[in-house]
A and B are shown apart, each in its own frame.
Chain A
Amino acid sequence: MKHIISALVQNRPGVLAHVAGMFAARAFNIDSLAVGRTDDPALSRMTIVVVGDDKVVEQVRKQLAKIIDVVKIQDFSGREVVARDLMLMCVHTPPEKRHEILALVEMFKAKVVDIGQKFVMVEFTGPEEKIESFVEACQPYGIKNMVRTGTIAMAKFSQTTSED
């Protein structure tokens, strides 16, 4: 099962290596890891998607908390979250198919960010499943390239106020 864990870490060199190394050393399976700065320049946030049962996730949480530069851990298991991935994709656009692809982009509320003679580059943000179905829909036209970030997530506001 997939679990989303959010870790607030000190913005110091080596922290990412430490966190990633802990996962590798303990044979925990990372599905995705996204890191970015927060409003406080001294802190970064890592959103980690882990695959495993409750016991594994509990250990991940505890072992993460043990790392000195990790300030706070939130485990989103069993909570309603807003989770998003970002994807950039280059799709083949033969002239006769171009309108079909643009219609798809429209339907999925994606965004064309670059257009070439043979390709369009599309930006898409959304929950993972929606990205998967968009990829599937684009597959027949030929995907030249795609790149995705890991998931970032936040607990829904109504819940964060009561539990944090």
Chain B
Amino acid sequence: MSKSAHQKDSAQTPSSELPIKTGAEIIVDTLIEQGVDTMFGYLGGVVLPLFDKLYDAPINFIIPRHEQGGCHMADGYARASGKVGCIVATSGPGACNLITGIANAMMDSVPMVCLTGQVRTDLIGNDAFQEADTTGITRPITKHNMIVKDIKDLQRSIREAFFIAKTGRPGPVLIDIPVDIEIAKYQLQPLEEVTLPGYKPQEKGHHRQIKMAAEAINKSERPVLYVGGGVIASNASEELRELAKKANLPVTMTLLGLGSYDQREPHSLDMLGMHGTAYANFAVQECDLMIAVGSRFDDRVTGKIKTFAPNAKFIHIDIDPASISKNVNVHIPVVGDAKYILSELTKEVQHKDRKPWFDKIADWKSRYSMKYDTKSPNIKPQYVIEQIWEATKNNAIIVTGVGQHQMWAAQFYKHTQPRHFITSGGLGTMGFGLPAAIGAQVAKPDSLVIDIDGDSSFNMTMNELCTAVQYELPIKVCIINNGYMGMVRQWQELFYGKRYSKSSLKNPQFAAVAEAFGAVGITVDKKSEVKTAIAKMLAEKRPCVVDFRVEREENVWPMVPTGKSLHEMDGLDIFESMA
């Protein structure tokens, strides 16, 4: 099948001055050429030729304790740095262990290149030791993948992989490399522009569409900007701020969009959706124009899709044309990169007062500001997160696992700048927090990185504490420990008549576990100890785990039950009773 491609390659006779190298050397040289200075990965038989070359390479290499952890590290690294995360795994089990991490990166559009080893080309398909059909297995969860069966294709494939991973809607790209290709020899190829006839991401939006969008904004009485992770991916926070300021637009963010707009700004409506703020959800339901930017109308955001923003016209700005009109009918689509389009849009919009709309929003905000029972003698999870905010303000990179603690971290920490809130939104991967925090700390060695984790999330990947200790990464882990799979328990309480089927856990002493790994462990049982524990944690130079024993049956409010409209939130009466 690929004969034609080879013919083309051999037609361009390589310059004789370029050195002959082994496949493994070509891989390392090309990674460096692509700007890779940090990688994650785990060894195994068929990647040994590559690891042998990495021995002398100027690449900071982090070995996790499990490939899934390594993949989340590359993910956290990519999100914190804005660079492409790079992970290596061996064939068979190594590649299979990457699956969760790759799917997570795919769902959250994280740029990543995965290199997997494969058995010798002549053994492929023969059920050889540690063979798996890696490209077949990862096809639905990668932006693109390929197997290199000819040394001539190796360098071009790696260049293509990086190009695809970081352009357009970013995503993971996997290259499967048989061990004999790592050993084969070929001439290094000069750097050329990648040409992929089927891949031309459209970065500049259509000018007429941008104009139409601006006109709609100028006409609108009750607009809402609805911002997702795409704004962070395209580094468009500044452009977003300028548009919101000039056109006078309230801004609500998805979970992944948090940090794209400073939540301390008066225009911020904070997060919307299932556990979003009541004022964001009410504003969305009553808006006459929704300007979606780099967001994909996830069901956790829209609630019942039929009654989502029922009176609104939709503008949708997205680099991925397939996201447009997938879940809602869009009136004005603008396909392109958020950074470019937002700045173009800002030129065309006018300032408009919209006093009645902002008065209404102010009223909702005063009535439904996020609350919890501050008088409780128990440690409330929200209290812990508020105290972490108080102690760190906008200096920390917050990473989370998945569950109740993740929602509280979204609700009660104020997110002020992009790439400072790293969380698994699309796939909802429990166990993401600790390894992603390690990746973020590798990317930002001088930053304070805090993993706000849940006990069950932490249980899944806590072996990576070893990695943090080995590489002296001073990450902080705050476990919101309620002894349950908290979100599952909440659903069982609300929708399954409090039958807590299998959702309670017998946890280890997390502080003792941390100590055993060589990290610092702190246990907090009393509310009065929370502040001092946080202060102690922040003063610590080593990786540190704080086990906050919080109130066991606290719920995340407000909540839009599945299948309900966004304004049909449960828990608002609880807010009112606390007013």
Question: Number of B interface residues, CB 8 Å?
Answer: 26
Given that A12-B1, A12-B2, A59-B326 are known contacts, is A68 also in contact with B136, CB under 8 Å in the complex?
A: no
* A11–B4 CB distance below 8 A: yes
* B198–A71 CB distance below 8 A: yes
On chain B, the residues within 8 Å of A63 by CB distance are: 322
A18 is contacted by which of B2, B5, B139 (Cβ under 8 Å)?
Answer: B139
State in angstroms the CA–CA spacing of A55 and B136 once bound together: 29
Residue of A nearest to B160 (CB): A68
* B139–A69 CB distance below 8 A: no
State in angstroms the CA–CA spacing of A69 and B145 once bound together: 10
On chain A, the residues within 8 Å of B324 by CB distance are: 62
On chain B, the residues within 8 Å of A12 by CB distance are: 1-2, 5
A41 close to chain B: CB less than 8 A: yes
* A14–B139 CB distance below 8 A: yes
Given that A65-B321, A65-B322 are known contacts, is A14 also in contact with B198, CB under 8 Å in the complex?
A: no
State in angstroms the CA–CA spacing of A62 and B145 once bound together: 19
* B135–A14 CB distance below 8 A: yes
* Chain A 27-75 residues near chain B, CB threshold 8 A: 41-42, 55, 58-59, 62-63, 65-72
* A68–B164 CB distance below 8 A: yes
B144 close to chain A: CB less than 8 A: yes
* A42–B139 CB distance below 8 A: no
Residue of A9, A11, A68, A71 contacting most chain B CB atoms (<10 Å): A68
How many residue pairs link A and B with beta carbons under 8 A? The number is 55
On chain B, the residues within 8 Å of A42 by CB distance are: 4-5, 8
The minimal Cβ–Cβ distance linking A19 to chain B, given in whole angstroms, is 10
A25 is contacted by which of B5, B136, B140 (Cβ under 8 Å)?
Answer: B140
On chain B, the residues within 8 Å of A41 by CB distance are: 3-4
* B322–A66 CB distance below 8 A: yes
Residue of B nearest to A42 (CB): B4
* A68–B199 CB distance below 8 A: yes
A107 close to chain B: CB less than 8 A: no
On chain A, the residues within 8 Å of B147 by CB distance are: 13-14
* B198–A59 CB distance below 8 A: no
* Chain B 1-15 residues near chain A, CB threshold 8 A: 1-5, 8
B325 close to chain A: CB less than 8 A: yes
B320 close to chain A: CB less than 8 A: yes
State in angstroms the CA–CA spacing of A113 and B321 once bound together: 48
The minimal Cβ–Cβ distance linking A111 to chain B, given in whole angstroms, is 32
State in angstroms the CA–CA spacing of A18 and B138 once bound together: 10
A94 close to chain B: CB less than 8 A: no
Residue of A11, A59, A66 contacting most chain B CB atoms (<10 Å): A66
A1 close to chain B: CB less than 8 A: no
On chain A, the residues within 8 Å of B164 by CB distance are: 68
Residue of B8, B199, B320 contacting most chain A CB atoms (<10 Å): B199
On chain A, the residues within 8 Å of B4 by CB distance are: 11, 41-42
A21 close to chain B: CB less than 8 A: yes
* B140–A21 CB distance below 8 A: yes
B196 close to chain A: CB less than 8 A: yes
Could you mark each residue 97-134 of chain A with 1 if its beta carbon is under 8 Å from any beta carbon of chain B, else 0?
00000000000000000000000000000000000000
* Chain B 131-151 residues near chain A, CB threshold 8 A: 135-136, 139-140, 143-147
State in angstroms the CA–CA spacing of A9 and B146 once bound together: 15
State in angstroms the CA–CA spacing of A72 and B198 once bound together: 7
On chain A, the residues within 8 Å of B135 by CB distance are: 14
The minimal Cβ–Cβ distance linking A77 to chain B, given in whole angstroms, is 16
A10 close to chain B: CB less than 8 A: yes
* B139–A68 CB distance below 8 A: no
On chain B, the residues within 8 Å of A25 by CB distance are: 140
B1 is contacted by which of A11, A58, A67 (Cβ under 8 Å)?
Answer: A11
Residue of B8, B321, B322, B326 contacting most chain A CB atoms (<10 Å): B322
The minimal Cβ–Cβ distance linking A96 to chain B, given in whole angstroms, is 50
A17 is contacted by which of B139, B197, B320 (Cβ under 8 Å)?
Answer: B139
On chain A, the residues within 8 Å of B5 by CB distance are: 12, 42
State in angstroms the CA–CA spacing of A17 and B322 once bound together: 20
Residue of A nearest to B8 (CB): A42
* Chain A 1-16 residues near chain B, CB threshold 8 A: 9-14
Given that A21-B139, A68-B164 are known contacts, is A10 also in contact with B198, CB under 8 Å in the complex?
A: yes
On chain B, the residues within 8 Å of A11 by CB distance are: 1-2, 4
B2 is contacted by which of A9, A13, A65 (Cβ under 8 Å)?
Answer: A13
State in angstroms the CA–CA spacing of A12 and B136 once bound together: 14
State in angstroms the CA–CA spacing of A71 and B5 once bound together: 15
Residue of B nearest to A64 (CB): B322
* B2–A66 CB distance below 8 A: no
The minimal Cβ–Cβ distance linking A71 to chain B, given in whole angstroms, is 4
The minimal Cβ–Cβ distance linking A35 to chain B, given in whole angstroms, is 11
On chain A, the residues within 8 Å of B139 by CB distance are: 14, 17-18, 21
On chain A, the residues within 8 Å of B196 by CB distance are: 68
* B321–A62 CB distance below 8 A: yes
State in angstroms the CA–CA spacing of A69 and B146 once bound together: 11
The minimal Cβ–Cβ distance linking A6 to chain B, given in whole angstroms, is 14
**What are 25 A-B pairs at a CB distance below 8 A?**
A9-B198, A10-B197, A11-B1, A12-B5, A14-B139, A14-B147, A21-B139, A25-B140, A42-B4, A42-B5, A58-B325, A59-B326, A62-B321, A62-B326, A63-B322, A65-B321, A65-B322, A66-B320, A66-B321, A66-B322, A68-B144, A68-B164, A68-B196, A68-B198, A71-B198
A interface, CB within 8 angstroms of B: 9-14, 17-18, 21-22, 25, 41-42, 55, 58-59, 62-63, 65-72
B interface, CB within 8 angstroms of A: 1-5, 8, 135-136, 139-140, 143-147, 164, 196-199, 320-322, 324-326
Known: A13-B147, A17-B139, A71-B198. 20 other contacts (CB 8 A): A9-B198, A11-B4, A12-B2, A13-B2, A14-B139, A14-B146, A25-B140, A41-B4, A42-B8, A55-B325, A58-B325, A62-B321, A62-B324, A65-B321, A66-B320, A67-B198, A68-B144, A68-B199, A70-B198, A72-B198
Report the 6 A-B pairs with minimum CB-CB distance, sorted nearest first.
A62-B322, A71-B198, A68-B144, A41-B4, A42-B4, A71-B197
